Structure 1
Amino acid sequence: MKEENICEPQEQKIDYFDGDTTFEGYVVVPDTNAASRACVVLTHDWSGLTAPTKRLATRYAALGTVARCLYQVNVSREALRL
């Protein structure tokens, strides 16, 4: 893929819910006026939501894709049980 059309993405922390349980997340949205965009959902490795995962999300967003990172530990620091 060419990376010459890279834009400056917008990053933000988000919360998402499963019933009464609140989880933290991270989303990176490309800075574009497109009416619709593809989205990729990333999850972290054993170490949690770390800088490398956030960098990967930023790279996807720079190419025009919304990137949402799930953090599978709730705000009480209990692991999500799948």
Structure 2
Amino acid sequence: MPQKPKRLPLPKRFSAALTEKAYAKLRDLNADWHFGNNYLLTILLENFDDVIDEKKFQQVMETFIAEYGQPDAGGMKPNKTQG
């Protein structure tokens, strides 16, 4: 009997708001790779350094900050219920 593939547990859940453009890209990735949104985001974030060009990412962030601003460094605080 063939062995079932392992499933990656995704214990931490959060709600994420996305632009239409970002959600369309997520749907395109889902159509290509057949993973759900949670798995796709996990794969991308866990392998972030391997899948981005650091210089291009820096430029994108600087452009975004110039247009929309940047939150205070202390703006994102850990959830007290999470480890």
Q: TM-score range by the shorter chain?
A: under 0.3
Greater Cα radius of gyration, structure 1 or 2: 2
More strand by proportion, 1 or 2? 1
Relative contact order higher in (CA < 8 Å, ≥ 6 apart): 1
More helix by proportion, 1 or 2? 2
TM-score, length basis structure 1: 0.27
